[in-house]
Amino acid sequence: MTGSALLASPIFVRFFVKPPLVPLLVYACFLNGFWSLGNMRTLAESVSTDGIIVVGMTIVMIAGGFDLSVGAVMAMGGVAAVVLLPYGLGVSAIGAATVGGIAGVFNGTLVTRLRINPFIATLAVMVMVRGGILAYTDTRPVVSLDDTFLALGGGQPVPYAFMVLLVVLLVSHVLLNTRAWGRHVYAVGADERAAAMSGLRVKLIKTQCYVLSGAFAGIAGLLLAARLGTGSPIIGEATPLTAAAAALIGGASLRGGEGSIAGAFVGLLFVGCLINVMNLLGLPSYYQRMTIGGLLIALVVADGMLMRLRPR
């Protein structure tokens, strides 16, 4: 392979250019403790819950939508999981995914049936869900002392949450790349009108994407509650920002029809490593949010420039 061919190869671009994951990891080599077993486990824990949400966000963005409600839905899933624990861990997990899926139905209905802009629709659902769980819990976290549930938040040397993330990644990759449904999602995101004219049930497909995003957020809430031992109604405020940044870095686009699960995973690793590096450098959390917010603005601007440069 020639030098120019190497620079243009998708693998090189994915790891060195968009995002520059390998250069970031090379820089991290000089930070004391980055490659320690303890920090690697911390990194795996931190990307697990966000990663499950990033997968759902990516699927919605491929279909031409967006989901601002994932953070609030994650909090609702965690609270629901703890509340349902007396009925068994299985019921708790199903309940967390179900309440997330119901939120996804609301999102999909507002976007497809009432034709409300995805940002406005999911913002409204985010506010309603957040207010609902704050009212239900009286603004206080619900605590779990169930040993089996708390064990789900652990795992040695690999956290159980990270194993769940790998399963979600694999299943989602198969759905998008080897099943007709995945091809339909890409078609809807690329050109919704053409997809409808070709006989695809556009409204149903987009709603299904929102349901998946909500269910994944609920599962992420379950895993986070197991790790913390509590279902908190206030967690996840910055989650939509992080998930959107990871999805965009991974190749998804606000105009739809683009993206992949593999790219989303690389974008997730980049954002997770970036936050971890900032933690090791001792940067306060507000500086970290400013960095991720600035990165998101740059990504949106770059996405808009590419859209204008491409032939119509």
User: 254-300 pLDDT, tens per residue?
Assistant: 888 888 998 888 888 888 888 888 888 888 877 887 887 887 787 77
Of all residues in the chain, the percent with pLDDT exceeding 70 is: 89
Contact 52, 220 (CB under 8 A): yes
Mean pLDDT estimate for the chain: 87
pLDDT tens digits, residue range 211-221?
A: 999 999 999 99
What is the predicted pLDDT for the residue at 161?
A: 93
Distance, CA of 10 to CA of 18 (rounded, Å): 10
CATH 1.10.890 fits 18-309, yes or no: no
Q: Is the pLDDT of residue 52 over 70?
A: yes
Confidence category of residue 108, pLDDT binned at 50, 70, 90: very high
Q: Are strands 142-143 and 230-231 parallel, antiparallel or unpaired?
A: antiparallel
| Every domain of the chain and the residues it spans | 18-309
Q: Which of 165, 164, 222 is nearest to 51 (CA)?
A: 165
Contact 188, 64 (CB under 8 A): yes
Distance, CA of 208 to CA of 172 (rounded, Å): 13
Q: Is the pLDDT of residue 174 over 80?
A: yes
Q: Which of 141, 168, 157, 102 is nearest to 236 (CA)?
A: 141
Distance, CA of 154 to CA of 302 (rounded, Å): 39
